[in-house]
Chains A and B, each alone.
Chain A
Amino acid sequence: QVTLRESGPALVKPTQTLTLTCTFSGFSFDTAGMCVGWIRQPPGKALEWLARIDWDDDKYYTTSLKSRLAISRDISKNQVVLSLTDVDPVDTATYFCARIRATTGNYFDHWGQGIMVTVSS
């Protein structure tokens, strides 16, 4: 059974760095084609893809936030970490992590429940 769970702070101050962790089970980066992505959703708005990290440690970022994002992984812990620097109130959103099986297509087949993050002083 594939599961993903996001964790991190619920409240972050402007200009700080937001660090979120995705802990997953039911699959492994030891398997070719396994990837984890991050997507966010501001309150009442649409989904926005942020970043992806692959089984071979390739990384991809959305263009508009590339300079502020960093994605990494800890294979031994089955975790993926997303960092977003210099946060602003517009970064307030629910952040989801989700799995991609690149061997079948780069769509998100399993999602975490999401974590709501508010940026406010």
Chain B
Amino acid sequence: EIVLTQSPGTLSLSPGETATLSCRASQTNNYLAWYQQKPGQAPRLLIYGASRRASGIPDRFSGSGSGTDFTLTISRLEPEDFAVYYCQQYARTPYTFGQGTKLEIK
């Protein structure tokens, strides 16, 4: 099973700043997705294939990385961006998620 470790656990930033979220995999793979989840809502797909934005996702969201280290960068933070973010590997079953990074308003 591929274990995903996200850091930091919580990130406190102000609107307008840039958020950098990390996801480290226990095994090499390039099949990584990022999701945003707001309280009481289902996750929303942001990024797939490590760096491809899903349909309708603003270009403020960008993904990068390969192998075992991946990054989600959110530029020019908007109030609606404050949420929990999860990475997920889909290289092989069992599909696994990271434990999440909470992005909160400072």
Verify A108–B43 contact, CB threshold 8 A. yes
Chain A residue with the shortest CB-CB distance to B33: A107
Selected interface stretch from A10-18, A22-30, A43-51, A71-79: A43-51
Compute the total of residue contacts between A and B using a CB distance below 8 Å: 61
Selected interface stretch from B15-23, B75-83, B87-95: B87-95
**A62 CB–B CB distance under 8 Å:** yes
In addition to A61-B94, A111-B43, 4 A-B residue pairs with Cβ atoms within 8 Å of each other are A48-B97, A62-B94, A108-B45, A111-B42
**A120 CB–B CB distance under 8 Å:** no
Which single member of B49, B54, B93, B98 contacts A60 (CB below 8 Å)? B93
Verify A106–B90 contact, CB threshold 8 A. yes
**A103 CB–B CB distance under 8 Å:** no
**Can you list 28 A-B pairs, Cβ within 8 angstroms, ordered by A?**
A37-B95, A46-B86, A46-B99, A46-B100, A47-B97, A47-B100, A49-B88, A49-B93, A49-B94, A49-B97, A52-B95, A62-B94, A96-B43, A98-B42, A105-B49, A105-B90, A106-B31, A106-B90, A106-B95, A107-B48, A108-B43, A108-B45, A109-B48, A110-B45, A111-B43, A111-B44, A112-B42, A113-B42
In angstroms, Cα B32 to Cα A106, docked, is 9
In angstroms, Cα B97 to Cα A64, docked, is 15
Majority-rule SS of B interface residues: loop
Verify B48–A105 contact, CB threshold 8 A. yes
Question: What residues make up the interface of A, taking CB atoms closer than 8 Å to B?
Answer: 37, 46-49, 52, 60-63, 96, 98, 104-114
Verify A105–B93 contact, CB threshold 8 A. no
CB distance from B70 to the nearest CB of A (A): 13
Question: A109 — which chain B residues lie within 8 A by C-beta?
Answer: 45, 48, 54
Verify B94–A63 contact, CB threshold 8 A. yes
- B residues 37-94 near A (Cβ < 8 Å) are 41-45, 48-49, 54, 86, 88, 90, 93-94
Question: B49 — which chain A residues lie within 8 A by C-beta?
Answer: 105
Chain B residue with the shortest CB-CB distance to A97: B42
Verify B42–A107 contact, CB threshold 8 A. no
In angstroms, Cα B99 to Cα A44, docked, is 11
